[in-house]
Amino acid sequence: MNPGMTLLSMERVTGGYGDADILHEVDLKVEKGEIVVVVGPNGAGKSTAMKAVFGLVRVRRGHIWFDGSPVAGWTPDRIVRRGVCYVPQVDNVFRDMTVHENLEMGAFIRRGDLSAAFDKVYGLFPDLVSKRREAAGRLSGGQRQMVAMGRALMLDPKLLLLDEPTAGLSPKYMERIFEIVRDVRAAGVSILLVEQHAKQALAFADRGYVLAAGRNRRDGTGGALLADPEIARLFLGG
């Protein structure tokens, strides 16, 4: 691939929380316009790898490049301004604030007219339009996940980081969320996705990474990983 098309690149990243390293020389790339999925067993460091991109993990060695800038060690708000938005797995909405206010908070660092951003997000999540005046904490799990993604999309990011957006959702909502992920990509946003539902996610991902015990185990196109018998046996539940 053309190196000019690379949006995010982690190179031999080692780091974690406090003194303990969770990631060991992890390599990961997202090209412009890609959906990249990170899968692996519990405790593999999937979420930690994502948080490292967003400055929430201490990176001890290695480099993280985003859109030409070395972002390792940056604070989250600086990375947000550069065009990366992150949706945590849990506690990802302001429960007592309305849906509309949640979206507004997503664009907190941006001044001026937000109506175009609101239109875009409500266009992606039509289910939210009728709920705009409701407190986000009163919505169903799937709708709350949409609010969380919508909040992150208000800044028009280049890269969206999604940490297990389908955790705890019914299969129906999982399909809906995956559909939205594809819509978001179609709107020009690259996506790095950490998923427990590995098979379903790899089925629509451009590429995937398998992490285990904080190290790269395998990477390739979604289809190639799904077809790999060893990966299937070890990580995808047969």
Partner 1 sequence: MTLLDFVNFHVVPGLVLGSIYALGAIGVTLVFGVMRFAHLAHGDLATLGAFVALGVVRFAGVGPWQALPVAMLVAAAVAIGADRLFYEHLRKRPLILTVIASLGVALMLRSLVQVGFGVDPQSYVRGLVRPDVFFGIRVREREVLTVLTAFGLVAALGAFLAYTRWGKAMRAMSDNPDLARLSGVDTRVVTALTWGVVGALAAAAGFFLGLNTELRSMMGWQMLLPMFAAAILGGVGRVEGALLGGLVVGLVEETSVIFLPAQYKSATAFVILLAMLAVRPTGLLRGKVL
Q: Which is nearer to partner 1, 82 or 217 (CB)?
A: 82
Burial of 73 (0-12, 13-18, 19+ CB in 10 A): exposed
Per CB under 8 A, the list member of 60, 63, 81, 138 interacting with partner 1 is: 81
Tokens describing residue 154: 């208000």
Enclosing H/E stretch for 177 = helix 171-186
| DSSP helix/strand/coil, 24 | strand
* Residue 230 near partner 1 by CB under 8 A: no
- In 3-state terms, what secondary structure has residue 36? strand
- The Cα–Cα gap between 83 and 79 comes to 7
Number of residues that bind partner 1 (CB under 8 A): 21
Residues 137-156 that bind partner 1 (CB under 8 A): 151
Nearer to partner 1, 8 or 198 (CB): 8
Q: Please report, as a single letter, which amino acid is at residue 7.
A: L
Q: Shortest distance, CB of residue 107 to partner 1, whole angstroms?
A: 8
Q: What is the 3-state secondary structure (H, E, C) of 102-148?
A: HHHHHCCCCCCCCHHHHHHHHHHCHHHHHHCCCEHHHCCHHHHHHHH
Task: Determine which residue in the list 5, 63, 73, 105 makes contact with partner 1, applying CB under 8 A.
Answer: 105
The one segment of 59-67, 105-113, 219-227, 229-237 that binds partner 1 by CB under 8 A: 105-113
**Which of 16, 45, 83, 106 is in the footprint of partner 1 by CB under 8 A?**
106
Smallest distance, partner 1 to C-beta of residue 1, A:
30
Binding site for partner 1 (CB under 8 A): 54, 76-77, 80-81, 86, 88, 91-97, 101, 104-106, 108-109, 151
